Structure 1
Amino acid sequence: MADKSTNNIELKVLVDKGSNKVIFIEPDNDFVDVLFSFMTIPMGTIIRLASKHSDPMVIGCMNNLYESVENIDEQEFRFPKFKDMLLRPANAADFLCNCLKLKLDNAEPRSYFMCSKLCKFLSYNYGTYCPCSYSSTTYGLSSSTMVEKKRLSVASVFVKRRTGFIVADDLQVIPPSASTDSVLFTKLGVVDVHATEELAINIGTAEICNLLLSCLVSKTPLTETLLNPEQEPKLRSTILNQGILNEYQMSGDSMDDEEGKISLNLVVSKSKKMVCYAEVGEDFVNLLYSFLTLPLGFIVKNMKDCSLKGCINHLYKTILDLDGQYMISNHHKEMLVNPKLVPAFCYQNSLIGIEETSYYYEGCKLITDSSSEFNKLKVLGSEDVNAQGFLKGPASFVVTDTLIVRPMSRIFELHVLKDLNVPVTDIENQIVHVGKKEALHLLLASFLCDSALTNTFFGDIKKPKQEQRWIGYTY
């Protein structure tokens, strides 16, 4: 485990000696804060962390989306910075996550600058031209202080100090008043106290990263992370265990309101009842790429009653049901159960329905929660992505069922058909439209399984196809 000389957290672990499994742990609040912070992490960051494993984790189709961004020519983006925004997406709660004792992401803290006139504009870049100026002078912007950014020696990040939580192997976080000891121990599987032993285990960033990845695919992530430290999580598996939605819409169905929807041409195998690939414009690819900027908590929130191989939904439900007396504030809880996007780092036309966070200037400090809209700041440059998306247009792309994205190429389309063993005589075209319902369905399918287009537009999502792993072609 982590060396005691390094920055780490010590856990008191109760283990069942017979099965060699964690029954529960008694952590301090530093660990609970880190655990809760999982909900704020963007999917692009999780994919990047997972790629560092010798056997990289496969998260539905998200890996393919991430690799497609890596492989696409920078010239396809409206600004070069947009590619990096997708590969290293910003966390809207980073000013708090930077205060965690163990940080998963080593990204540099974001800087904030305001005009010397203290007008209602905010920038992430020093020397940005402020709209309040009536001359051609570029005003120097002075650094502002985030009120939440300073870590106090007696303060926590999300939960109040000295609460006394225990955490079960499936990441249910139980406050001290949850039940009587006897009921609690029985619920957690403590039958014979003589069959248990207490361990003190130190963990560092590597173990926290493994815990995050394990909870996506395992019901016992603490056991796998703490008691089997030499083994990387067995992550090469589809997360989906049961379907998300069973409604779908193909051409010919009633389309009462097509305004604002995205059109795409599906190339479908008639015999296999599956989508082989789609021919799309940049608007659909903007939607797909925006999935990488979404925080994990937003996706889990929308999974409803899915039956998952992992237990990340247990952690989310714990936070959702947790009495507010254990949180630093209602705003801190809201940041976890309804995480938002960073202004100027998101694509608002994504049909997904996620909001941007807001910044306010009060008492010479920059904050994210205020009762007064008068002090709300406008982030300069936010219109760059919000209105038009990441990619230049007009442009045409091919998107496979597994969400590999390539610029339009008939040769690539033939490679896809060949790989799927679908003859050209077996395909037909179907025009579909993506609105809010389809966009959300597509998001969940891209996270949960490896046939996102089929499960969104064509197939019965309760019966997912077997995994299809294939190597994309780069031209």
Structure 2
Amino acid sequence: MSWWMLCSPQSMADKSTNNIELKALVDKGSNKVIFIEPDNDFVDVLFSFMTIPMGTIIRLARKHSDPVVIGCMNNLYASVENIDEQKFWIPICKDMLLHPRNAADPQCNLLKLKLDDAEPRHYFTCYSYCKFISCDKTNCPSHGIVMHETSLSLRPSQVGSVFVKGEIRFTVTDDLQVIPPIASTNSVFTKLGVMDVDAIEELTVNIGTVEMFNLLMSSLVSKTPLTETLLKPKQEPKLNSSTVINQAIHFESQMFGDSKNDEEGMISVKLVVSKSKKMVCYAEAGEDFVSLLFSFLTLPLGFILKNMKDGSLRGCISHLYKTIQDLDGQYMISNHHNEMILDPKLVPGFCDKNSPLGIEEISYYHHGNGVLTTDRSLFSWEPNQLKVIGNMDDSAPGFLKGPAMFVVTDNLVVRPISRFLELHVLKDLNVPVTDVEDQIVHVGFASFVGFYSL
């Protein structure tokens, strides 16, 4: 059997309609889930949480009858919606931010429960197998001929899992800690407080895509997401910006190419500050800073958790990331699959070229007969990386055209600059015009620290 298999959109759609049966151990007295012992189908979907871009999570959350609020990120998403398409570098940039693509979506399309409702991507290459690849049917830049659709190959496990290999029975606790089967049974029961067998019961439940997405949302706000999802299905998880504190994400800059001095690559931002309240009312910023803010929507959840240095989330999603990290890849199909979860990348063209956040784009390679792969480890030679065309080109400075100026409020509402708008912001904050002063700050690419709340 060949190492690769081809993505089939039809088989993906058929598989995604299935439910997953779970067996949960429940504390009858407190009506809480102690742990579940799921099969690989569930664990694969659980691990795939790390690959989902924040913009996708917000977009899907808004479809709930009672929309879920994810801190200030909802404001950022709505700001992209409300800004005129003509202000973007190319019109497609707006859609790229509102519908960011998952770099692992070929794998995620094979999950038994597919959370993202986006259509599977198609791939096109030149008949000459040159260096270009496109997600749209277009002409080859080198040969001028129409590119033809090809397939992306995936390395399957022996039993058809997506990320984890074999029939492994993990234990997943209520706060999403994943315990491998090699852990001592006695220590696990003791740790989870399973002392009185008469006080517990086994519950069998079937979950679908809706419940799995509720689990993701609950993991951002609750310390007991399995209980919230399996035993209290009528309660919508909420994460309101007014109740979220100390949820800072710290990104450390990564430098590429030649080193820059301290003055190169600096972004100048003017803060309008209340002198009496000692608070930022809003900022006046150019398209470079706002492009960077908007790029947060393209970041996968796993990348955010990987770079979390300060603060902590109200929920327990960080427990999931940490325990996957502790598994050290030994239960994953390959190191490539482990990297997709713990160090997720962007689809080419979705990265702000001037971003100091250090996130990389995924690479594509030919592997004979026009078949594509993203798994470099499958080659015994140094493969040629393909250039993706069709999204932003290398000349684009960011998602927005310049020069342009914007007003950015403290809760990440972004609008084109307007004195009327600035007055409205001050009025809403009950800050008189005589109480404000301007402060110029410089955000450096060499020492950038970005914070935003989930």
If the length of structure 2 is used for normalisation, what is the TM-score? Answer: 0.89
The equivalent position to 2:22 in structure 1, one of 4, 11, 20, is 11
- State the one-letter code of the partner of 1:144: T
The equivalent position to 1:332 in structure 2, one of 323, 334, 337, is 337
In the alignment, which residue of structure 1 is the partner of 2:92? 81
Q: 1:155 to 1:238 in 2, by over 3 A?
A: farther
In the alignment, which residue of structure 2 is the partner of 1:33? 44
Q: 1:6 Cα deviation (Å)?
A: 5.6
The equivalent position to 2:145 in structure 1, one of 139, 149, 158, is 139
Q: In 2, distance between residues paired with 1:333 and 1:19?
A: 36
> In the TM superposition, what whole-angstrom CA distance separates every residue of 1:169-222 from its partner, at most 9, and x where no partner exists?
0001111012x2111001112111110000110000000110011000110000
Please say if 1:400 is aligned against 2:416.
Answer: no
Q: Is the CA contact (8 Å cut-off) linking 2:247 and 2:452 kept in structure 1? A: no
In the alignment, which residue of structure 1 is the partner of 2:437? 428
In the alignment, which residue of structure 1 is the partner of 2:264? 259
In the alignment, which residue of structure 2 is the partner of 1:457? none
Q: In 1, distance between residues paired with 2:47 and 2:27?
A: 26
- State the one-letter code of the partner of 1:387: A
Q: 1:435 Cα deviation (Å)?
A: 2.1
Please say if 1:380 is aligned against 2:389.
Answer: yes
The equivalent position to 2:61 in structure 1, one of 50, 60, 72, is 50
Q: In 2, distance between residues paired with 1:206 and 1:438?
A: 41
In the alignment, which residue of structure 2 is the partner of 1:317? 322
Instruction: Report the 3-state secondary structure (helix = DSSP H, G, I; strand = E; otherwise coil) of the residue aligned with 1:215.
Output: helix
Q: 1:430 to 1:241 in 2, by over 3 A?
A: closer
Q: 1:356 to 1:117 in 2, by over 3 A?
A: same
How large is the Cα RMSD of the aligned pairs? Answer: 2.2
In the alignment, which residue of structure 2 is the partner of 1:307? 312
Q: In 2, distance between residues paired with 1:199 and 1:431?
A: 59
Q: In 2, distance between residues paired with 1:175 and 1:307?
A: 25
Q: In 1, distance between residues paired with 2:423 and 2:179?
A: 54
Q: In 2, distance between residues paired with 1:26 and 1:44?
A: 31
Instruction: Report the 3-state secondary structure (helix = DSSP H, G, I; strand = E; otherwise coil) of the residue aligned with 2:153.
Output: coil
- Counting only pairs closer than 5 Å after superposition, residues 283-298 of structure 1 correspond to structure 2 as 283-298=288-303
Q: In 2, distance between residues paired with 1:189 and 1:48?
A: 38
For structure 2, list consecutive stretches of 5 or more residues without a partner in the other structure: 1-15, 252-259
Moved more, 387-396 or 94-103: 387-396
Q: Is the CA contact (8 Å cut-off) linking 1:239 and 1:308 kept in structure 2? A: no
Instruction: Report the 3-state secondary structure (helix = DSSP H, G, I; strand = E; otherwise coil) of the residue aligned with 1:375.
Output: coil
Q: 1:9 to 1:238 in 2, by over 3 A?
A: farther
For structure 1, list consecutive stretches of 5 or more residues without a partner in the other structure: 248-254, 449-475
In the alignment, which residue of structure 2 is the partner of 1:191? 195
Q: Is the CA contact (8 Å cut-off) linking 2:272 and 2:282 kept in structure 1? A: yes
In the alignment, which residue of structure 1 is the partner of 2:6? none
Q: 1:305 Cα deviation (Å)?
A: 5.4
The equivalent position to 1:352 in structure 2, one of 346, 350, 357, is 357
> In the TM superposition, what whole-angstrom CA distance separates every residue of 1:272-328 from its partner, at most 9, and x where no partner exists?
111111111111111011110010111111113533210010000111111322100
Q: Is the CA contact (8 Å cut-off) linking 1:44 and 1:292 kept in structure 2? A: yes
Q: Say how many residue pairs are matched.
A: 427
Q: 1:385 Cα deviation (Å)?
A: 6.5
In the alignment, which residue of structure 2 is the partner of 1:204? 208
The equivalent position to 1:170 in structure 2, one of 175, 187, 190, is 175
Identity within the alignment, %: 69
In the alignment, which residue of structure 2 is the partner of 1:391? 400
Please say if 1:366 is aligned against 2:372.
Answer: yes
Q: Is the CA contact (8 Å cut-off) linking 2:100 and 2:350 kept in structure 1? A: yes
Q: Is the CA contact (8 Å cut-off) linking 1:362 and 1:375 kept in structure 2? A: no
Q: 1:434 Cα deviation (Å)?
A: 1.2
> In the TM superposition, what whole-angstrom CA distance separates every residue of 1:325-348 from its partner, at most 9, and x where no partner exists?
210001100111111000022212
Q: 1:58 Cα deviation (Å)?
A: 2.3
Q: 1:238 Cα deviation (Å)?
A: 5.2
In the alignment, which residue of structure 1 is the partner of 2:185? 181
- Counting only pairs closer than 5 Å after superposition, residues 63-74 of structure 1 correspond to structure 2 as 63-74=74-85
> In the TM superposition, what whole-angstrom CA distance separates every residue of 1:39-65 from its partner, at most 9, and x where no partner exists?
000000011111122332222211111
If the length of structure 1 is used for normalisation, what is the TM-score? Answer: 0.86
Q: In 1, distance between residues paired with 2:226 and 2:430?
A: 42
In the alignment, which residue of structure 1 is the partner of 2:11? none
Q: 1:437 Cα deviation (Å)?
A: 6.9
Q: 1:220 to 1:343 in 2, by over 3 A?
A: same
Q: In 2, distance between residues paired with 1:167 and 1:319?
A: 11
The equivalent position to 2:423 in structure 1, one of 411, 414, 427, is 414
Please say if 1:161 is aligned against 2:166.
Answer: yes
- State the one-letter code of the partner of 2:61: A
